[in-house]
Structures are given as C-alpha cells and as structure tokens.
C-alpha cells in the first residue's frame, strides 16, 4: 500500500515538472527558424543601457573581443572574462543622433599608465553581466573609465 502511494506521488511530481517546463518553453511559430527567445535567454533592453547625469544620452557597450587569460581566484569572484575590445554606442536623446566607436581597452589602459602613471580600468567582467554580447549598464563606468580620463569619450 505504501509502495503504491510512493509510486503515484512520483508519477504526479514528474507530470508537474514536465508541465511547468512546457509552460516556460517557447514554441517557434515557424519550425525552420528560431524566431522566439526562450525565457532563460530573454534580456530586458533597459538593463543594457546606461544614461548620463542629465539624462540626455544613453550608452550601450558591446563586447567585441575577450582575452584568453585565466581569471585569478575564481572561487572568490566567480566566472569572469577579461574584455579587450568594445564597441560603444551613444545615442543623443534630444536629437536622436547615434555615435559609435570601437575601443581597444587594453591599449588605452597602457597609454593611461604611461601618461598619467595610474589606471582605473577593471576589465574583468562577470560572465553573468554579459547578456547577448552586451555589457550590463552597471558595469559601463568601469570599462570606459580610462577612455573618459583621456577624453576619448565624453559621457
């Protein structure tokens, strides 16, 4: 009797798990292409954008190149990658003008250390803060700090 109850409860939990998984999965409208994004892959555009102090400009940063260097102390900081090149897109909200620029962060970091004897860039970005190839807005200032110190970017 107890074995029957256990077997039935196992079947019910498996059915509930399968049902909840099917609710979270999206089905492509056209079978040949993956036109829809799954729930886990969805990224809200607002998390990828940062604004200047006056709210006149917005910025998005796309990662173009990542270093193959191993991160120190993975156990303490988690999975991180060292970003080498980025593409910065700045949109002026008043005029709808869009500016783009590619930056080699590694070269800018070396130039700033040479000219000003310091550097403030932290190019190690957690893998969870990179969504669909773009860096989350909260990490923008750490990636462009040296470029703005050398007046390559005015944001």
Same domain, 19 and 90: no
Angle at 120 between CA 93 and CA 59, to 5 degrees: 15
Q: Answer whether residue 47 shows pLDDT above 60.
A: yes
> Which tens digits make up the pLDDT trace of 123-146?
888 888 888 889 998 888 888 888
Report the predicted TM-score, pTM, of the whole model to 2 decimal places: 0.67
Give residue 92's pLDDT: 93
Q: Answer whether residue 147 shows pLDDT above 50.
A: yes
Cβ atoms of residues 78 and 116 within 8 Å:
no
53 backbone dihedrals φ, ψ, rounded to 5°: -65, -30
* Domain extent at residue 26: 1-41
Query: By C-alpha distance, which of 111, 122, 105, 113 is closest to 63?
Result: 105
Domain membership of residue 154 (yes or no) is: no
Same domain, 2 and 68: no
Q: Which stretches of the chain are DSSP H helices?
A: 2-24, 74-77, 105-116, 140-149
Cβ atoms of residues 89 and 98 within 8 Å:
yes
């Amino acid at each position: 009797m107890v074995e029957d109850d256990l077997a039935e409860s196992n079947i019910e939990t498996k059915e509930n798990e399968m049902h909840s998984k099917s609710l979270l999965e999206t089905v492509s409208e056209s079978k040949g292409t993956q036109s829809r994004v799954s729930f886990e892959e969805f990224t809200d555009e607002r998390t990828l954008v940062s604004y200047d102090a006056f709210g006149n400009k917005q910025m998005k940063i796309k990662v173009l190149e990542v270093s193959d260097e191993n991160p120190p102390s993975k156990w303490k900081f988690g999975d991180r990658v060292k970003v080498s090149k980025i593409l910065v897109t700045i949109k002026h909200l008043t005029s709808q003008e869009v500016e783009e620029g590619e930056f080699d962060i590694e070269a800018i970091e070396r130039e700033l250390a040479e000219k000003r004897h310091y550097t403030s860039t932290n190019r190690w970005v957690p893998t969870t803060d990179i969504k669909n190839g773009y860096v989350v807005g909260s990490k923008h200032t750490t990636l462009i700090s040296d470029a703005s110190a050398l007046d390559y970017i005015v944001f």
